[in-house]
Structure formats: structure tokens, C-alpha cells
Structure 1
Amino acid sequence: MSSIVIDHVSADGTTLESDVRTSADLERFFTNEPFRTDYDVPIEDVPEGILAIPVLAQVCPVAWANGADVYVDEVDTTFANALEDVKTTLCSMHEFLEGGTLYAKETVDIDPEASGESGLLFTGGVDSTCSYVRHRDESPTLISIRGWTITPEPADDDNWDHLHSRVSSFADDHELETAFLESNMLSFLAHPMLLAHYKRYVDGAWYSSVGHGLGLLGLCAPMAYARGIEDLYVAATHWEGIDLEWGSRPDIDNHVRWAGTQCHHDGYELTRQERLDVIADYIRDEAPTLELQTCNDRMDGNCGECEKCYRTAVGLSLSGLEPTAHGYPFSDQDYREIRTALEDGQWVLGQDERHMWADIRERARETEPRSTEAAAFFEWFEQADLDDLVSESEPPLSHRLLRAGARNAPAPVYNTVYPAWTTAKSGLRRVRTSR
């Protein structure tokens, strides 16, 4: 029988560690690393049933993809029930997920330490900044996580430093607390092997399409318990009417909960352009110098030349703001660059971006152009076929063959070869959607 066993969970100061043992058929999906997360608050007094949540949040989707059962000594009753609800959503969304059962020696009704505080996963992008504006009366703790888009690898140290500095500065300016988490959740999992097996079923990668709503929120559990956070917000990427197979949605995130804490998928009722409107009103009323950070290529500012920088700059302009005043080097001449890039297929885009450009087009229909260049662009854009301009590119045959072969390759071989091979072949870059 396929199984994943949480052998050991420990807290030492601010560090959480868990050892995981699997049946032979699942070994390929895990590396030899113990699961580890470092917090910036002591977690030694956090109950074991809460300490088990971060690792369960990472391994349960892998178990469900293989019809495997998960075993743990102790878990918070509220979270155990949450996992059942999340499993139902994920299994209905992804046909390849089979489900499985969580077996705990003890499920514990834990007395919450909540004290009315709130928290918000925060990067300084459009979505998380909009959520801050919507909940600023709560003075939420701003939570940033290293381990997904910014990896624990030394090569990403500068990116983490830039994010840490930017979020800290924002928090200081707004008299907020911060929480910084660092985890090996994707190097603890054999993410290349998960891609080899499941990339054919999903639009993005494993974590973005399946695991990141439950995974990122679950990482926060010990910290949230220690800080007394009752409401934990994660900003929506998509909005009502967009039905994509994405790992963070209302019917996932709103189910995630544990003793004293309820998670919320925030801003789903607003399109991305409407979120920019919320930010624009806030800028005009309270924060005239606010800058956003959304760049796909840099963490120390916005390059002003990638698809996401251009898209955000156009959105800011449609909301009545001057992009250059809020972090985006942009001039009217750039509308020509955007058209050329879209027409020539210079950006590798998916359905996320198709919906976001459609949202921009809808707003442009009711907005007076601010220049002749903008007018010319939107006149062309009104007639453009978004399915032709923004289409999902099938991976090259070489990628597909590598993954197909890897499904039967020894896991250590594939986990070593695949990252090196993709680095050498990284001519095409899949655009990342961040909050």
C-alpha cells in the first residue's frame, strides 16, 4: 500500500524539522533532505498538532496524486478536517488526483492562542498590495516566504535580501509587523520528478497548479499560532469567471484552517484592473509615493521591459496614474513595443495572461486614451485575437521526451540531470504570476 509517514516533528528555537518516510513507490518524489522551515519567532511552545501542519500541507497533495495514505502521530483536529475539504476540491479539479486517507494516532482539539491579529502573505505586487489596502484597518502582519519563487539556494540570496528590505521598508512606513519564513519545501520534495509525472496534466508547474495554496498557508501555522493570528489572508491571482486549474482558489484557501486561525482567499471579486483601481484610490488619498514590485526579471525594482512590467504600467495608466511615479519606467513610445512583442510572440504566455490582457481591453473600451500612441495601440488591440496573441505553448518535443523517460528513470539520476538540462535549455521562459 502506498504510504507517507511523518516520522518525527521537532521545534528547536525558531526552526521546525520533520522526517518523512515513504513506501518504495513514492521514494522518487522525495529527496534525502528532512523538511525544514525557519521562522523569526520562537515556536518551541507551539503544540505538536500545529507543528505537524507545515509538512502535512506539502506532502498530502503528493499522497493524493498517488492514492496514498498519510500517517502522523498528532494533528490539530481543525486542520485534519480542513485537509478533507481541500482534498475534495483538488480531486474534483484535477482528474489525475486519486485521494487518500490521513491517519493520526491522535487528533487534538487545541485551545487557540488567537488574539484578534491578522496576517497577509505579501510581496508588494498588485494583488497583495490591494489586499493590504482592503484590510489596512486591521494592521496585518506582512508575511513573506522564501522557498518557492525565491529558492533557498545561495544564488537567490540577493533576491531574498531585496524582498526582505522592500517588505520591511513598507512595514516601517505603515507601522506594521513583519514575519519572514524560509523553507526547503520544494527541495525537500523532488520537484523535478513531480514535473516529470504530472506536468502533462497541468497548465503550470506542480506547486503553482496543485500545491501552493495549501502549501504556503500551511507553512504559516506555527508562526500564526505563536503570534495569535486569527485571520490569514492570501491575495487572489484570478477572479470570478476565470475557471483555471490553479493551486490557490477560494474553494481551496477558504477551507484552510487550524486552531484559532481561519485563512481567506482575498479579492477574488475584483479583476486585476479593479485591484489597480483600489490601489490608485489609496495612492491619491493616502500614499502618493507608493511603488509596486511585479517584475518577472528583477527583485530590486522593475525592469520596465518584461511583459508583466508593461502590463502593470498600462493598467496603472488606465487607473489614472502615471506609471513612472510608481515604479515603472514607461513612456507612450512603449505602446509600440508592446504591440510588436504581442504580434511577434516574444513573450511565452498562458491563460493567466490572456485573461489579464482581456481585462485591460475591457477597461480601455470605457477609458479615454491619454495620448495618440495609446489611442493607436488600443485601436489595434480592440481588433486583436487574444487566442492568437496569447496562447499556451506546448513544451518542445525534447522536454516531453525527457519527462516521459524520467517517469521510469531512477529518481536520483533524473533529479540530478533535469535541473542541469533545463538550465542549459532555458531559451524560453514561462512567465510567472506572483502576488
Structure 2
Amino acid sequence: MNNISLNQIVINDNQVDYFFNTSEKIKKYVCREHLFFEFNDDLTEVPESILAIPFVANLAPLAWITNSTILVDQLDQSFFQCLKYIKKAYQNMYPNVPFNGEIIAKNIVENTYEVEHEAAQLFSGGLDALSTYVRIKNTKPILITEYAWHIDKVEKSGVWEGDKSHVMDFSAKQGLKNVLIQSNYGTFLNASVIDKDFQKKLGDSWWHGLHHGLAIITAAIPIAYKLKVKCIYIASSFFEGYKAKCASDPTVDNEIKFASGEVFHHGYDMNRQEKVKVIVNDSKNYNSKVNLRVCFRNEENCCECEKCVRTMVGILAEGQLPNDYGFKIQRNLSTHIKEFLELNVKFFNKDKIMQWELAKMRMEENQKNIISKDLLAWFLIYDFTLERKKALLTYRLTNFIPIIKRRMNEKINKFLIQNG
């Protein structure tokens, strides 16, 4: 049997370190046997059974797909009991991979508290998160922002500094408490090796398909316990009726329980364009500017990536200008969007096209309020499926010889490796 054993939890004021070891057969899936979280709050009074939750959550999907056992000394009773439902939800999502393995705790501890805060929200400042905030802001949520990409310790990151500055400024303006969490939960596992062994069967990557939802949510549980929070809200990426495999899904997230707290996957009742509308309407109603933070790995919105441009189009479809929502772009918007599509539409899959079509449909019904009339002239008749086919054909004809050479080289290299 393969084991993942938690040897020690070390608490040093606002940092929690987890030291563990793994059996030989699954060592290849682990970059380092050390997981850590740093908070901007002291955690010394949080019990070990609660602190063990993020460790178990980050490794549980790996244990399940490798038929391994996670061994811990203590674990919260509510979380321990919900694991079987989370496991079942994953199994339903990925029927081609058996979810076996188990979590064993020497001591199952019942933790309870009297609720003092109605809500905490995982908050990045992005479109999904901001639309959720607008809809629950009457609860005065504690805003929790995370950065997962450190290695062995906290090191300076321009991206994190940008995230932190953005959310702290937002929290201050809203008069809310802000919790900041830094970790290496995005790097301590060897995602590329896990993907090599499981991506084909799963039909998704480790990070997107199994890891990130549990990791993000449970990183917030120790502080939610300390602050006695009733519910942690996480904003949805997808919407009801749209079938997608994803680690963050209501069938998984809504099963998570801890002590006296719970989790809610919020916004699943709205598509992305409807979320844009919620934000725009709130901004207009309160006559306040809103800065969306779309590029989560850039220091500010680049205005060049697909997610940035798609969000800009969504804002335009609501009759607003992207520059009023955190997108610093000086050139003509119609030209910028057209040139982006000329270069990138060939990379769009059906899911991306669906998202762009939502903005297009909204633009069509809201024509009288669209500020960029030159965009309106061509975008409403733009056929994404047809243009993608044309762009792919042009790309393949232009790059035919290089593509053949690359494929031949790959076959030759494979042959040489197999035959010594």
C-alpha cells in the first residue's frame, strides 16, 4: 500500500509548515515533502485537527487516483465526514479513473464554534469574484486572497504585490477585513508527472481538474475557524447547464464542511456575460469605478490575452468602456479586437467560442447603448466557427513543411530512445 504520512505540523505565529513523507511509488508525483501557508494573522490558537485540513485536501485527490492512504494524527470530524462525498463527486466527474485510497486519522476531533461572521469570500478581484461580492456584499464578507506559487519559502513576487495592492485597496474602500495567504500549494506537487500518467484518462489536467478547488478553499479554513465564519464563498467559473470538468464545481465545493462552517459555490446560476452586467449595473448605481483584475499571473491586465480581450468585449457589450474597469488601452478598441481575433481565433475551442458568443448576443440586444460603433459594424456578423476554420487552414498551409519536419523529428527521436 502506498502511504502519504504527515509527520509534523509546525506553527510559528502566522506560518504553518507541514512535513511529510511518501512511499517510493508516489515520490515521483511530489516535488518536495514540505507544504506551507503564511497568513497575515496569528494561528497559534487554531487546533491541529483544523490545521490538518489543508494538508489532507491538497493530497486527497492524489491519494484517491493512486490508491494510496493518507495518515494523519488528528483531523476535524466535519471535514473527515465530508471527504466521502467529495470523493464520490470526483468519481462521478471522472468515471474512467477509479478513485480508491483512503484517509486515516488516529483521532477524529469534534470542533464547534458560535458563528461571529456570516461570510468570508475567496477574492481575487476578477470578474467571477467581483460579481459574487456584489451579490453578497450585504453580509460584509471577510475577503480572502491567496498566492500559491512560492517554492520553499515566501519570496518577492511582482504578481503577488500587484494582487495584494489591488485587493487591499478594494477592501479598504469597502470597509472590510482582508486576509492574505501565501503558500507553495501550487508547486509542491509535480503536476507535469501526474498529468503524464493521468491526464488522458481524466480528460483534464491535475491542477484544473482535481487540485485547485480544494487547495484554494481549504487554505482559508484555518482562518475561517479562528474568525468563526459561517460560510466560505467561492465564485463559480462555469454556469448551470454548461457541462465542464473542473476541480471547483458545486458538486464538490458544496460538500466541504469544517467544524461549524460550510462552503458555497456561488454564481453558478449566471453565465459570464450576466456577471459582467451585475458588475456594470452596480458600478452605475453607486457611481463608483471598479478595477477588474483579470490577468492572475501578470502584474496588471495585459489587454492582450484571450481572457482580457474577452472581458473587454463583455464590458463593451454592456455599453461601457473597458478603461473604466481596469483595462489600460489607448488604441482603437475595434482595431485591437479585430487584430486579436485574426491572430488567435484559430486557437479557440468550442467552449471559448461559446463564451464569446454570449458577449456577441448581448451586444446585439443592446445595440443602441454600444459606444464603439465601428466594432458593432463587423462584430455582430463575425462567425467564430467559420473564421476559426479559415484561420486554421491558412496556418496549416503556411506551416505545412515545418509541421511535417517537426513530426518526423519527434518520430525519429522516439525511435532512437526506444532502440538505445
Is TM-score (shorter-chain normalized) higher than 0.5? yes
- Secondary structure (helix, strand or coil) at the match of 2:309 reads helix
Q: 1:180 to 1:287 in 2, by over 3 A?
A: farther
Q: Which has the larger radius of gyration?
A: 2
* Residue of structure 1 in register with 2:103 after alignment: 102
Between the aligned partners of 1:293 and 1:325, the Cα distance in structure 2 is 12
Contact kept? 1:131, 1:267, Cα under 8 Å: yes
Between the aligned partners of 2:75 and 2:296, the Cα distance in structure 1 is 38
Moved more, 50-59 or 349-358: 349-358
What are the superposed Cα offsets for residues 153-173 of structure 1, whole Å, 9 maximum, x if unpaired? 888611111111111000010
* Residue of structure 2 in register with 1:145 after alignment: 146
**Residue 87 of structure 2 corresponds to residue 90 of structure 1:** no
- Secondary structure (helix, strand or coil) at the match of 2:181 reads strand
Q: 1:310 to 1:234 in 2, by over 3 A?
A: same
Query: What are the ranges of 5 or more consecutive residues in structure 2 without an aligned counterpart?
Result: 393-405
* Residue of structure 2 in register with 1:130 after alignment: 131
* Residue of structure 2 in register with 1:292 after alignment: 292
How does 1:85-234 map onto structure 2 within 5 Å?
Answer: 85-94=85-94, 95-112=96-113, 114-148=115-149, 157-201=157-201, 205-234=205-234
What are the superposed Cα offsets for residues 171-217 of structure 1, whole Å, 9 maximum, x if unpaired? 01010100011111133222232232233345653112211111111
* Residue of structure 1 in register with 2:31 after alignment: 31
Contact kept? 2:199, 2:206, Cα under 8 Å: yes
* Residue of structure 2 in register with 1:53 after alignment: 53
* Residue of structure 2 in register with 1:235 after alignment: 235
Between the aligned partners of 1:109 and 1:284, the Cα distance in structure 2 is 47
User: Which amino acid is the alignment partner of residue 123 of structure 2?
Assistant: F
Moved more, 94-103 or 259-268: 94-103
Moved more, 165-174 or 33-42: 33-42
* Residue of structure 2 in register with 1:14 after alignment: 14
* Residue of structure 2 in register with 1:316 after alignment: 315
Contact kept? 1:121, 1:142, Cα under 8 Å: yes
User: Which amino acid is the alignment partner of residue 101 of structure 2?
Assistant: G
What are the superposed Cα offsets for residues 2-31 of structure 1, whole Å, 9 maximum, x if unpaired? 222222223221111222222221111113
Structure-2-length-normalised TM-score: 0.86
- Secondary structure (helix, strand or coil) at the match of 1:162 reads helix
Between the aligned partners of 1:115 and 1:351, the Cα distance in structure 2 is 45
Q: 1:116 to 1:142 in 2, by over 3 A?
A: closer
1:349 CA drift (Å):
4.4
What are the superposed Cα offsets for residues 245-275 of structure 1, whole Å, 9 maximum, x if unpaired? 1110111111111002111111010111101
Q: Which fold has the larger relative contact order, with Cα–Cα distance below 8 Å and residues 6 or more apart in sequence?
A: 1
1:389 CA drift (Å):
8.3
User: Which amino acid is the alignment partner of residue 118 of structure 1?
Assistant: A
Contact kept? 2:254, 2:264, Cα under 8 Å: yes
Between the aligned partners of 1:105 and 1:132, the Cα distance in structure 2 is 39
Contact kept? 1:46, 1:226, Cα under 8 Å: yes
Contact kept? 2:360, 2:380, Cα under 8 Å: no
Contact kept? 2:152, 2:184, Cα under 8 Å: yes
Contact kept? 2:345, 2:384, Cα under 8 Å: no
Q: % of aligned pairs identical?
A: 25
Moved more, 259-268 or 286-295: 286-295
What are the superposed Cα offsets for residues 68-90 of structure 1, whole Å, 9 maximum, x if unpaired? 12221111111012211111111
- Secondary structure (helix, strand or coil) at the match of 1:294 reads coil
1:303 CA drift (Å):
2.5
1:387 CA drift (Å):
6.9
User: Which amino acid is the alignment partner of residue 252 of structure 1?
Assistant: V
User: Which amino acid is the alignment partner of residue 304 of structure 2?
Assistant: E
User: Which amino acid is the alignment partner of residue 238 of structure 2?
Assistant: H
Q: 1:155 to 1:40 in 2, by over 3 A?
A: closer
Q: 1:338 to 1:155 in 2, by over 3 A?
A: farther
Query: What are the ranges of 5 or more consecutive residues in structure 1 without an aligned counterpart?
Result: 409-435
What are the superposed Cα offsets for residues 225-255 of structure 1, whole Å, 9 maximum, x if unpaired? 1111111011111111211111101111111
Number of corresponding residues:
400
Structure-1-length-normalised TM-score: 0.83
Between the aligned partners of 2:263 and 2:386, the Cα distance in structure 1 is 38
* Residue of structure 2 in register with 1:415 after alignment: none
Moved more, 167-176 or 334-343: 334-343
